[in-house]
Structure 1
């Protein structure tokens, strides 16, 4: 089959780029002889991985016919290639029959597929390398070496993931398959969860989980519990992934995720203390101060043992730049296969320095960087954000999109904006004077009225879906246990409140 090189007319490329035309011919022949060969190939082989474009087109047509449960042979392929000019140059439709002339490919089909894939990665690596050299030779003042390093790492990561397709375009058929897989996952979960689980049924019901490639902003005023809620989401997703791994659930059908938590405000041990408090039922304050009983300590030990192999990775490096965060996230994705990224919080990240003279521009750069990261790694990125003090000046303290601090680009870049709001926080702060014996009746009445209001709202929280590219806006009520900083479902609020404007 050595003559196929010249036959398909890639002589110029063949002298410079790694390839194996014989392996491509043998593999395609094996697929046409036995269509079940495709079921044994575990690598993400695509048409663009074939060195010879004609072979890529043949492979693509074979896979499309197999997806329709049709038998694929040279005869069934014939109608699709009658007008193919390249095929006419190499012998016309008889070339399809020649592919099946040697059945030796059946024995090593999997190895041939792996070699085709590996050589495609090498060719892409050569392309990336040439680009890096050309860019590095540019010494003009407008060149930013740090940006070049970041771009180089992103390009190399794409090659590592087997996604170094220079065109950057995805055909509609492949995009449709991804959409159908998401719909199937939602159907299998009971009709409401197509992304990574938050661990709260009511929230999943409202937003469908945390979707790949999405930037989600979780915002709130200090004291609302946004870090606690983000920690709950991260822990729940990681715990669900571990359980699904133990149950042997197919990876595409999983709704849990290995999680990376970038904590720019709290240390790793503080976050771990919070999670231990949630799981053991002991308050974080009691844990830190050692005010626990022997029974509490036993509960703590059990919780600690249960969390030993939790796939939750915490990076508490302070003052990270957006470039450094993206670098670390890529590394975690490559080494551990993370499926969810949490950033606490957005305003503590730093830009590249080019926009440091303007904080609004810097925040815009950071929010765009987080959105780019979500798309690049194909994972949801949940970033916490501060809100402006304008909330405190209104009678109604429920947050609004206009309260997002410092930049409208946060709202623009986000696929979903969530606000966490606890009315009891504000009611508690307005506690009137505690009545004493002999005080006027009005003081007793004021405090009694406050107590009634406090009883109505105590332990309740709202997750306000203020923006969603995937569905409706609205509110979901939750229960908040302040002692252990844990959010849970509210039993009487299965579907949340209706949409609002």
Structure 2
């Protein structure tokens, strides 16, 4: 007889399919080789009926320990767990094994069970929304934020169930290459800036592109220029989230660029008759472009996702996003420090870019530390909230090397000096073997669980430590070293080093990272010599340093900047 469940409030059972659940169990018990693939597509919670859930949980446990799965082992395991009687006894297992099911139907059964599970989650969310709505401690923004996050999590569960074989992916790539060769489609959006496009090959869909520079270096002007080029060329919508400039100021920029009329003259209305004609044409052109501007200074991730959905749904077409700029964005909740907030924001913006399959251009300030150097060309470590180290002796390092997970390549310390990065808050990490290292809050360090930042370290965290320098395999040169304590030390002068290829180095036998913006696919840094050298005020050459390019080369592109109309053009 089919088992039933009831809700607390009524006798109507939640969405489920008893036969599909039984079909899955029958196929797995009679075809154990299918279990491994099933584990990644079907969670234990997907089962609605308790007995089926317990049987599947037991199958998973046996599979994870590589145990033999048959009638004897499954019954023994159920007995050991004390749940054999609860699931219906030996007869239940025998009936499942004797039940005839075509193993080719497994994927369809899994789909049915997962869809019912997601429906139950939606029903639970509906109940939770009612509770949140009545709860006075929550304001409306917090409730909407919770609802958005919950819906996104449900959606992610559905997306994560889909796996692709190598054959499927190869087919997709072949079609993309063939289409590109035939020039029928574009894999990325070209900026029309030839030097830049030769390096980045256009902005790819799902890319997070960070454009960084000091204030007044031209970040906003450049992003508006390239975005206008893209939407004119590809006829796609542009959404600008501006936390600093008003929507009127942005449109003034567009009109000035299009009409070639000085922005200040536009605002003061001091124009000659011929310029009025150019202004009219420019305003008509800009008004016809699919540009949408949100100048809400309290922008949140929820606002971004909601407005992207609304505009792209109305236009029935995805486009491109500009956010100006990262350091002004806010969260609806508090994290321990601003470093964690920035990390959370960039990670979620990358998720949004991937979710909607769009490029997101994110503007970011560079640290003031660049001003303290003789060579003021920016580096990755100049990004705001980048990590640095404090030397515990006079020399920044006595054991310095770049590495690539296979061989350590010793590097002479004299030829690779550390760069001063300013004065920042620091933390002292002490290991159980007595080794100490002092880092800023977000400098990355190699742990047993991969790269983590200083603020993520706790007592007991296991960190990779160099045993000795040899040329044998990486695994035998390092061991785990546990952290005994981490303490705030105050503000110190800090240093860092850029390793262009491996982005890693060894300091006090600990493997540190180069503080790269981990979520960005492309990082472009803007440098103008005339910004620092008064003698070269007439030099309009601007360097665009592609400091990080996840899928291609790095390099420097040069463009001509026209300050009067804030326009960039090919050299």
Common fold, TM-score beyond 0.5? yes
2:177 equivalent in structure 1: 183
Counterpart for residue 252 of structure 1: none
1:151: which partner in 2? 149
Please say if 1:212 is aligned against 2:205: yes
* Number of aligned residues: 339
Match of 1:339 in 2: 319
Q: C-alpha separation between the residues in 2 aligned to 1:481 and 1:188?
A: 37
Evaluate the alpha carbon distance shift between residue 258 and residue 170 of structure 1 in structure 2; reply closer, same or farther with a 3 A threshold.
farther
In the TM superposition, what is the alpha-carbon distance from 1:332 to its structure 2 partner? Answer: 2.4
1:319 matches 2:319: no
Match of residue 353 from structure 1: 333
For the pair 1:420 / 2:540, whether they are aligned, the reply is no
Q: Is the 8 A contact 1:216 1:415 kept in 2?
A: yes
Q: Does 1:294 align with 2:273?
A: yes
- Rounded to whole Å, the distance in 1 between the matches of 2:322 and 2:569 is 19
Q: Distance in 2 between matches of 1:323 and 1:14?
A: 38
Q: Is the 8 A contact 2:544 2:556 kept in 1?
A: yes
- Identify the residue that residue 166 of structure 2 maps to in structure 1: 172
Distance 1:88-1:273 versus aligned 2 partners, 3 A rule: closer
Give 1:483 deviation, angstroms: 0.9
Per-residue CA deviation, residues 361-419 of structure 1 (Å, 9 max, x unaligned), is 11111111111111111111110000011111111111111110124577011111110
Q: Secondary structure at the match of 2:228?
A: helix
1:385 is the counterpart of 2:379: no
Tell me the CA shift for residue 189 of structure 1: 5.4
User: 3-state DSSP class of the match of 2:211?
Assistant: strand
Q: Could you tell me how far apart the structure 2 residues matched to 1:89 and 1:154 are?
A: 31
Contact 1:237-1:259 at 8 Å conserved across structures = no
After superposition, the CA RMSD in angstroms is 3.7
**Residue 122 of structure 1, CA deviation:** 9.2
Deviation, 1:214, is: 1.4
CA 1:360 to 1:396, structure 2 compared with 1: closer, same or farther past 3 Å? Answer: same
Q: Deviations over 1:247-286 (max 9, x none)?
A: xxxxxxxxxx321111111111111111111111101111
Q: Which has the higher strand share?
A: 2
Instruction: Name the residue aligned to 2:81.
Output: none
1:433-472 to structure 2, matched below 5 A, reads: 450=535, 453=536, 458-472=539-553
Deviation at 1:201, TM superposition (A): 2.3
In structure 2, C-alpha distance between the alignment counterparts of 1:413 and 1:383, rounded to whole Å: 11
CA pair 14-470 structure 1, distance change in 2 beyond 3 A: same
Normalising to structure 1: TM-score of the pair? 0.60
Choose between structure 1 and 2: higher helix proportion: 1
Distance of 1:262 and 1:279 partners within structure 2: 21
**Once the 2 structures are TM-superposed, how far is the Cα of residue 331 of structure 1 from its aligned partner?**
2.4
Give the 3 Å change call, closer, same or farther, for CA 361–460 of structure 1 in structure 2.
same
**Residues 217 and 382 in structure 1, CA contact (< 8 A), matched pair in contact too:** yes
Q: Report the CA distance between 1:136 and its aligned residue.
A: 5.4
Cα displacement (A) at 1:164:
4.8
CA offset at residue 198 of structure 1?
1.6
Query: Contact 1:185/1:194 (CA < 8 Å) preserved in 2?
Result: no
Q: How far apart in 1 are the matches of 2:301 and 2:355?
A: 14
| Residues 23-62 of structure 1 mapped to structure 2, 5 A cutoff | none
Q: Given that residues 459 and 480 in structure 1 are in contact (C-alpha distance below 8 angstroms), is that contact kept between their aligned partners in structure 2?
A: yes
Mapped contact 1:153–1:327 kept (Cα < 8 A): no
- Which residue in the other structure is 1:5 paired with? none
Distance 1:376 1:342 in 2: 16
Matches within 5 A, 1:248-267: 257-267=236-246
**Contact 2:207 2:521 (C-alpha < 8 Å) held by counterparts:** yes
Instruction: State the Cα deviation string for residues 210-232 of structure 1 (Å, max 9, x = none).
Output: 11111111000012101001101
In the alignment, the residues of structure 2 paired with residue 299 and residue 227 of structure 1 have an alpha-carbon distance, to the nearest angstrom, of: 23
Q: 1:172: how far off? A: 3.4
> Does residue 240 in structure 1 map to residue 233 in structure 2?
yes
Distance 2:151 2:204 in 1: 25
What is aligned with 1:199? 192
Residues 1:222 and 2:222 aligned together: no
Picking from 288, 291, 296, the partner of 1:309 is: 288
CA contact (8 A) 2:206 2:353 kept: yes
Q: TM-score normalised to the size of structure 2?
A: 0.53
Conserved in 1, the CA contact under 8 Å of 2:187 and 2:205?
Answer: no
Alignment of 1:14-29 (within 5 A): none
Per the TM alignment, residue 199 of structure 1 is displaced from its structure 2 partner at its CA by 2.6
Tell me, which stretches of 5 or more residues in structure 2 are unaligned?
Answer: 1-15, 21-99, 106-111, 388-441, 443-515
Q: Find the residue that maps to 1:332 and give its secondary structure.
A: helix
User: 2:181 & 2:124 partners in 1: Cα distance?
Assistant: 44
Report the equivalent of 1:276.
Answer: 255
Post-superposition Cα deviations, 1:302-346, rounded to whole Å, max 9, x if no partner, equal: 111122221121111112122322222232232222321110001
Instruction: Assess, with a 3 A threshold, how the Cα gap between structure 1 residues 168 and 89 changes in structure 2: closer, same or farther.
Output: closer
Counterpart pick for 1:401 among 380, 383, 406: 380
Change over 3 Å in CA distance of 1:381–1:276 after alignment to 2: same
CA shift at 1:479, angstroms? Answer: 1.1
User: In structure 1, the residue corresponding to 2:214 is in which secondary structure?
Assistant: coil
Mapped contact 1:215–1:381 kept (Cα < 8 A) = yes
| Structure 1 residues 422 and 181, CA gap change in structure 2 (3 angstroms) | farther
Q: Distance in 1 between matches of 2:113 and 2:312?
A: 22
The Cα shift of 1:151 comes to 2.5
Q: Name the counterpart of 1:482.
A: 563
CA contact (8 A) 2:254 2:286 kept: no
Q: Secondary structure at the match of 2:384?
A: coil
